[in-house]
Amino acid sequence: MKTETRDVKIDRGVLKLTLDSVEFGDDVAFVVTHIDYPDEVTKADPAKRLDKVRDGNKGPNGKVVAEKALTVGPEKLPGREVVIEKPDVVLRNRIVLAGARMYQVMIEGPKEFVTSKDADRFFDSFEVTR
């Protein structure tokens, strides 16, 4: 497992993104990220925030092939699950907004793996605890 932080530029400055990842071979990666936004960002419409994250992950060469809104946990946190096909990989991403913190749970790899029952178990194991 590898943990790293990256700077992410937003309109209001620079934020720290934390990524925890595990790679299996050359073609599958499991990733969980979180980032804490300033309070004023959390006042924005959750659907628009989720759209921005989806579009950022899609990038210029990706294509959204599946997308569904969801709620997570007993607090019914707003979220979205997205499957994006890119030229060399498929990304399945669950995005969850928990107040000022945004979580992403992702698997990158071949389509048959990222949409498998094993992938479902990984996504379903994610919980937001306080």
- What is the domain extent for residue 54? 2-91+106-124
Q: Is 57 among the domain residues?
A: yes
What are the pLDDT digits (tens) for 46-60?
A: 999 999 999 999 999
What are the pLDDT digits (tens) for 71-104?
A: 999 999 999 999 999 999 999 999 999 999 999 9
Sheet-wide strand order for 90-98: 2-10, 13-24, 28-36, 101-109, 90-98, 77-85, 63-72
Neighbouring residues of 64: CB distance < 8 A, sequence distance ≥ 6: 54, 58, 82, 83, 84
Count of domains in the chain?
1
Does pLDDT of 12 surpass 80? no
Query: Which residue has better confidence, 13 or 75?
Result: 75
Please, what is the end-to-end C-alpha distance for the chain in angstroms?
Answer: 23
Q: What is the pLDDT of residue 130?
A: 67
Q: What is the pLDDT of residue 123?
A: 94
Q: Is 100 among the domain residues?
A: no
Q: Is 129 among the domain residues?
A: no
Q: Is 9 among the domain residues?
A: yes
Mean pLDDT (the chain, rounded): 92
Q: Is 101 among the domain residues?
A: no
Q: Is 99 among the domain residues?
A: no
Q: Is 98 among the domain residues?
A: no
Q: Is 38 among the domain residues?
A: yes
Does pLDDT of 68 surpass 80? yes
How buried is residue 96: exposed, middle or buried, by Cβ count under 10 Å (0-12/13-18/19+)?
Answer: buried
Give the whole-angstrom CA distance, residue 106 versus residue 1: 14
